[in-house]
Structures are given as structure tokens and as C-alpha cells.
A and B are shown apart, each in its own frame.
Chain A
Amino acid sequence: MRTRTVQFYDVHFSKTDVKVNERFELTGKFRLMEDWPDAVTPPDIVFVSSVSPGPTIARVETYLNGEPARQSFAKLELGRDYDFRMVLEGRTPGSSHIHPSISIKGSGPLVGPGQWINISGDAHSFAFPIKTMTGLQIDDLQTFGLTNAIGWHVAWLAVAAAWLLFWLVRPLFLPRWLVLQKGREDLLVSLRDTGAGIIVAAIVLGMVFGGYVRANQEYPYNVPLQSGLNKVAPRPASPADAEVKVISATYEVPGRSMRLATRITNKGSEPLSIGELTTANIRFLNQGLPAAVANVDPTYPRDLVARTGLELSSDTPINPGETRELRVEATDAVWELERLVSFLTDVDSKFGGLLLLYTPSGKRVIAEMGGPIVPVFTELK
């Protein structure tokens, strides 16, 4: 399923070692696959986020195609690309595995490749200053307003404690129950008690509405919580310089090998060489193509780059206008490790991915591909 939803690519962490309060950027792009599975809700409401083990990092700014992404977006388009940028800040010392993620309402988070970020320094030195539109300079968003909130809660607890003590110092359960059975309620609740209740009620009402009026006077320019959906246009569509048709696809279970028979048409003006097959964050590289190897960012998690690479039936570039049938083989245990073989048990046994092709001048062409896949439970001859 994951191979047919969101394909992250060009993911880059500006730093992998940061100090507390030091900022770093997480950037990249993703393609929403055209062949979106029926079982996954389409990306009608989407939130761009980061995944971390708790708030070990602070989120400073996020963008989707350059638009502020503090709120969710409506109706992203299938088959199109988007780029994201997140400005993050180290908060809790230690190693944190940080991912970009695209949360889709109805489906949940679809997580991009994660990287270990080493955060060093003193946790207590973290502070997130901010200035309000009313001109109030706040030293730390982690603690602002707490004194007021806790103060009010302590005040309410004090009133409650006084009322409870007023009753708890008296004989309680057994004597009161016995007296009540004898019909002597007059001994249990006196007029004096009623008067005390009226006084406490007056105090409570004074605190409630006095506090409300005071809060309004102190903070006259408050705003409600902000919610709503933003809209963003996808990245401009790149010319379809390559068309990839999957003729047949098999997954050899014992060998952990995906074998594709493809028909590739070069619709561009330069020869094309297959450089990479990427799907669900794992990458199979044509290690014989320098441009493909150079395209792997040094910060990209190495465990997601298959060591065995991509095997092709022919390394010869596909000329402009040529259609060629090629066998593509991606073999690695990472299929199992990343739990990407769910098509063995799916009701919808299909796969998807991006094929990255390169021209001699280094231009990259991204082609979406996918289709039905047949598991093979015995070794292929």
C-alpha cells in the first residue's frame, strides 16, 4: 500500500548534529501517486508534519510549495509533486529519529525517510521566545501563562478544601447514617450550615465573574483558536520525457527480489539511462551510473539505500523516440525489513514507485510506474 501513496524524494537534513536551541532544516519533495489505492483516503485534507519521539525538537516554521503550512491544506492533487521545508530546532539532548510526514485525514500519517539527529547541550537551556501582536515579549513559550493558570487552580482548590474541611471535621459516615435512619436530619444540616453555603456560593460567583471581567480587562485583544484549510497549487508539471509501462511484475519471496518487465519510451530530446527505482523511501540505485549515485544526499539514511542496487537487462541509454523493453530487478532484504511485501496478503496486489532516469547532461526525469504484482513462492529459474 505504501508503495502507491506518497513517494518522498530529494529529502535533505541540513544538519545531523545540533545543539539545544540550534535550528536546522528538513527539506524535500513528494509525489502523490496517480494510482492511489482505494483503501486509502485520498489527500483531501493534509497536514505537513514531522515525526519525532515526543517534542525532542521544536517546530519553528513549515512550508508546502512555499506556502505557510501551520494549518492543514485542502485537496492536494494526485499525480503531482509538492516540495516541503521545515525549520526545526533542537530541544531535548540525545539522538532523535526525525522524519518528514504527510498526515492525511482518514488515513493517518505517511512517513518519509528518517534520520538520526544528535542534539547536544543542556535541556534546561532551551527556551522559545516569542512576541505577541500586542507587544508583549514572552521569554519562553513553555512556561508563559502557567503562573496565572496554576494560581487560579490553587485558589479553587483552596475554596474547595475549606468547604470540605468544614464538613469533614464532624462525625462522618456511620454516625450520620445512623442519625438519618432515625429521622433526625435537623442535627445533620443546620441553618448555620445553610448560611455558610450561601456565603461560599457568593464567593464562588464573585471569583467566577470577577475573574472573567479582570481577564478581559487584562487581555482585551485575544483571538480564538485559528483553524481552517489552506490551498496550495502543486509544483509545475515537468514534461513527460519518459513513459514507463510495466508489462509484468513478480516478487520472488525466497530471494526477496522484485522483477519487472517494462516498456520504456523516451519522449524527450536526449538519451535516457535508468538511474534509480525508489518506492516507499527505499532506493535501488544503478551503481554503474555516476549521476544516479551522486543524487543520493549524504544525509539520506543509508539503511534505506539497497546495497545490492538495481540490475538492468541493458545499460545502453534509450535514444529519443525509442521504445525499449527492459528487465529491471530490485533485490534486497529491505523489502522485508521495511515491511513492503504486504501485497502478499493484500486484496489489492499492486505496487508503485518512481523510476528516475538521467540524460548525459545530468538532467533527471521522473516517471511514475506501477501495476499488478504476482508473488512467486518458489525460486525463479
Chain B
Amino acid sequence: MAIPKRKVNPKGETVISVSGLTPKAARYSRIFDFLVVAAVVPLFAGAFHLHVMLTVGDWDMYVDWKDRQYWPLVAPISMIMFPAALQAIFWVNFRLPIGATVGATVLLITTWLGRYANWWIWTGFPFTEGVPSQVIAGALLMDMALIVLRNSLFTSIFAGFAFGFVFWPSNYSALAPFYLPVEHQGMVASLADMIGYTFPRSNMPEYLRIIERGTLRTFGSSVSWVSAAFAGFICIFMHQLWWQLGRFASQTTFLKNGDVVKSFMGMKSRRAS
């Protein structure tokens, strides 16, 4: 397998030459790359998708749950977790500033696959009812901040905040048509409300939706920007927490075997221990 050409630095050093890999080993390492990608992408895609389904749940699932207050708050706070951990794994071990983007990309692809298979083919819900949110914009900003700042704490402070803050505007452009007003039975409704009403989910009565409750409503029509700012603030801490978790989980640690353990493993006779 051909090794992609790298730009040679002034000393003529390349990644391959400095790594010490022989040409044959380098070719095998490329095969190893593909094997890792083939294994890791489905693994993280499934895990991240499950995580979002369990923690963001209906806010990401249904168009008539995407309100101005809770959706821009709950979704990014939960959705930053895996990208932050992946960012740490890719950066700390390989200096690859792509972890967050990988997480956000596999999530969006998996989500659409799920919508198509589960919600359209299996249960027949229209796609409009299940338009998901995306966090690629925030994830890209996180990776860009990391490559510029090269520091996890500053990345948390600036890019963690950006991840939460841009969630609302970056998704609004895709979802704005669903907030057009219609008159239905003498009352105002958004098109999203109408979609949820028209195509019934038998076990999801209207009152289950959590739409603009609590004190953030005080800010009136600006509630979404207040939510976005608050989401950004929380994402600062979530990013650092999950960065550390990702870093911890990607460590290889060896524990010294004592005599008792060795005897259990058959590496030393019990009498000798």
C-alpha cells in the first residue's frame, strides 16, 4: 500500500523516517490505520448515538420538542461529552486535532441512519417529525481551537463555550421553516407543533413536552440566546471533565504482579509463594 507523500522539513525528516518504521512496517501501519478506523468508527458511532438517545432523548428526536429554552441547553451539554473525550484521545496520543469532529460526524450520520431505518421504514413517521440536531459546527470550532491553543484548559474555556453557544444558531438555520406560524382550530401553532400533532405518537401525549418552563422565560424572546450562553458556560466544565476522562481512559497502565497474583495465574507455584 502506497504511503502518502509528506512534505519534507528543512532537515529532510518525515514522520515515517523519525518514527523508525521500516518501509515494510510503515505499509503495515497503514493497514493498521484502516483496521483501527473500521473498528473505532462503528464503536464510537453506536456508543455516542446511544448516549445521545438516552440523555438528550426527545429533544433531539422530535421537531416539536426543539423549543427555545431547553433544547439549546440540554442538547449541547450532553453532546459535548463524547467529542471532548475523543479530542483528548486523539490529541494526547497522536496529536490529531480531529477527535471532536470525528465524534460529531459519526453522530450525525448514525442519527440519520436511525431516523431512516427506525422512524421511516419501520414505523412510518415522516422525516419532518424526526429532524435531528447537529453539533458539527461546535465540534469543528473545538478542534480548531485545540490546534491553535494547544492546551486543554484554554480549549475548554474558549471552545467549550463556543460549542454550547453556537448550537442554537447553527441549528436554527436548518430548522427555521418549522417555526412558521399556522392557525389551527382557532389557535396559533408552529409547523413543528402541527407535525407532532398530525402524526400521532400514541404514547407521547402533548403534556410530556417540556417547553419553556422556569425562570429563563423572563427574558422573553431572547430566551434562546440566554440558553445558548448558559449552555456555553456549562460546556466549559463538561469539556474539561470529559477531556480528562478521555485522557484517563486511553492510558496504558501496568500493575506489578505480586507473588499471590502470580500464583493465581499459574506463573509461580503456591508453595513457592
Contact = CB atoms under 8 A, between A and B. Distances in A.
Interface of A: 45-47, 49-52, 54-61, 63, 68, 70-72, 91-92, 101, 103, 105, 108-109, 128, 130-134, 136, 138, 141-146, 148-149, 151-153, 156-157, 159-161, 163-164, 167-180, 182, 184-189, 193-194, 197-198, 200-201, 204-205, 207-209, 211-212, 214-216, 218-219, 221-227, 229
B189 A173 contact: no
Interface of B: 3-4, 6, 9, 13-16, 18-21, 26, 29-30, 32-33, 36-37, 64-68, 93-98, 101-102, 104-105, 108-109, 112, 123-128, 131, 134, 136-137, 139-141, 143-145, 147-148, 150, 166, 169-170, 172-195, 197-203, 205-209, 211-212
A145 B178 contact: yes
B67 A225 contact: yes
B169 A200 contact: no
Q: Which of B98, B126, B128 has the most CB of A within 10 A?
A: B126
A59 B177 CA distance: 21
A186 to B, nearest CB: 8
Contacts of A91: 124, 199
Nearest to A151: B174
Contacts of A214: 173
Contacts of B192: 225
A164 B166 contact: no
Given A157-B108, A179-B18, A225-B68, 7 more contacts: A49-B200, A109-B203, A170-B4, A174-B19, A187-B18, A214-B173, A227-B206
Given A156-B134, A188-B15, A226-B190, A174 B128 contact: no
B180 A219 contact: yes
A226 B187 contact: yes
Given A224-B212, A227-B211, A201 B141 contact: yes
Main SS of the interface on chain B? helix
B83 to A, nearest CB: 11
B140 A132 contact: no
Contact of B128 (A49, A63, A141): A141
Contact of B199 (A58, A109, A201): A58
A184 to B, nearest CB: 5
Contact of B144 (A182, A197, A208, A219): A197
A197 B166 CA distance: 18
Contact of A59 (B3, B139, B200, B212): B200
B36 to A, nearest CB: 6
A182 B18 contact: yes
B173 A145 contact: no
B95 A188 contact: yes
A227 B187 CA distance: 11
Contact of B93 (A68, A169, A180): A180
B122 to A, nearest CB: 9
Q: Which of A156, A164, A189 has the most CB of B within 10 A?
A: A156
B194 A208 contact: no
A127 to B, nearest CB: 11
B180 A209 contact: no
B171 to A, nearest CB: 8
B144 A201 contact: yes
B193 A49 contact: no
Q: Closest 7 A-B residue pairs measured CB to CB?
A: A211-B173, A103-B205, A68-B185, A142-B126, A227-B211, A47-B205, A222-B179
Contacts of A136: 180
